[in-house]
Chain A
Amino acid sequence: MNEGERLVELIPRLRRYARALAGDRASADDLVQDTLERAWSKLHLYRRGTDLRAWLFTVMHNVHVNKVRAARPTDPLDEGLSEIALRATQGDSLMLRDLDRAIALLPMEQRAVLLLVTLEDMSYEEVARTLQIPIGTVMSRLSRARDKLRAMMLGQTASAKLKVVK
């Protein structure tokens, strides 16, 4: 199977990641479309034998970052949004319809790490390569994303913290 065929095979997974990353269906489909256009035109730059999935998700990540920056030039990419307690009035039941709202409230950089680990089952090294960040940053963003999501969905606060080793 060549790169083109493998790329086509990865489209459903790109769509899943895009939906979780971008939130609504229309923006997600736009993001996938733009990513594919860029990927097809840059495919000759992809180095054979390296991880095509990581390469493709990197393309999507860069396209997304550019879109977000263009839309809101002053929006900080990390720690920008303050989470609100979605479940304050409804106890601690895990409600799927609240979950995608909660995901959308995570800072984009943390969201990306959590989604690649959870949905794509990427190793931390693959996430680091895909997002072009150090592995220590992957771990701290993953930890913060999980704590925030837990606080929003289950009303739990991160009281008992372990030492963070960079």
Chain B
Amino acid sequence: MTDETTLTDAELQAYVDGRLPALRAAEVEAWISAHPEHAERVADYRRLGDALRLLYEPIVSEPVPESMLARRPPRWSRAAKAAAWVGLGIAAGLIAGWQLHDRSVAAMVDAGAAMARRAALAHATYSPEVRHPVEVGADQEAHLVAWLSKRVGAPLRAPKLEDVGYHLVGGRLLPGESGPVAQFMYQCNAGTRVTLYVRTESTQNRESAFRYSKEGNVRVYYWVDRKLGYAMSTSDISKDDLLKVSNAVYQQLNP
């Protein structure tokens, strides 16, 4: 039996990070479920981790400034060996530069996948919130939609999902790769939440089919429709049920 005298703080950290061996993780999990104050601590640590990743993830997709890609030649005083290295380095730089060019094309294709990842992180961060799941509640829906539309820079709508069993809880504004993005949160009567992530797309007049992605525990359907990119996330309902909700959203926004 595990108790405070045998479970160390280091083990609790490793449990949070999923770095304990399976057997030990199961023991810790059992112990934690019997100790709510530690269960809450673990949940908070994980949410803070998700929030951190959400906050800083866009930087990875930012284009790297030219100045950072330029090789700095070593000083003249360096030995011949260093000079040879510069030659190699320039060649490496050329190759790397070419690959970066290639990658920027791939990056456009992968932009949707990056959006799905951010939507999933945003979902994981905010859907467990008990007291403040949204910044503006559904009771001020008109204000919410007007505010988000203004900040995101495109006319948005909060779809009505009562037909598929969900009602609007509200929404919030989040930082995105190229400006603010909106998150609408919906909840069913059983308390299960789904979130709709909406951002503006840099390339217009583009449409894409539904694509599916699983990011950790979060399932996401995402698509692009003209000026806007959408991602629908859940950590509770099945892929099929999520598709139903996503279809309902798509149909409402494209009557």
Contact = CB atoms under 8 A, between A and B. Distances in A.
B101 interface: no
B74 A20 contact: no
A36 B135 CA distance: 40
B17 to A, nearest CB: 6
B100 A146 contact: no
Range class of the A interface residue count: 35 or more
A2 B92 contact: yes
Contact of B14 (A97, A99, A124, A165): A124
A124 B89 contact: no
A69 B35 CA distance: 43
Contacts, number: 149
Interface string B53-97: 111110111101101110110100000011001001100110110
The B interface, classified by DSSP as helix, strand, loop or mixed, is helix
B4 A4 contact: no
A15 B7 contact: no
Contact of A13 (B16, B60, B72, B93): B60
A16 B136 CA distance: 30
B131 A4 contact: no
A96 B174 contact: yes
A50 interface: no
Nearest to A42: B74
Contact of B37 (A146, A159, A163): A159
A8 to B, nearest CB: 4
Contacts of B74: 40-41
B19 interface: yes
B10 interface: yes
A11 B129 contact: no
A29 B71 contact: no
Contacts of A5: 92, 95-96, 99
**Closest CB pairs A-B (n = 4):** A93-B132, A4-B92, A139-B10, A8-B96
Interface of B: 4-5, 7-10, 12-14, 16-17, 19, 35, 37-38, 40-41, 44-45, 47-49, 51-57, 59-62, 64-65, 67-69, 71-72, 74, 81-82, 85, 88-89, 92-93, 95-96, 99-100, 125-126, 129, 131-132, 135, 174-175
Interface of A: 2, 4-5, 8-9, 11-13, 15-16, 19-20, 29, 32-33, 36-37, 40-41, 43-44, 91-94, 96-97, 99-100, 103, 114-115, 117-119, 123-124, 136, 139-140, 142-143, 146, 149-150, 153-154, 156, 158-165
16 contacts: A2-B92, A4-B96, A5-B99, A20-B52, A29-B65, A40-B71, A40-B89, A44-B85, A96-B175, A97-B175, A99-B52, A117-B17, A123-B19, A160-B41, A163-B9, A164-B8
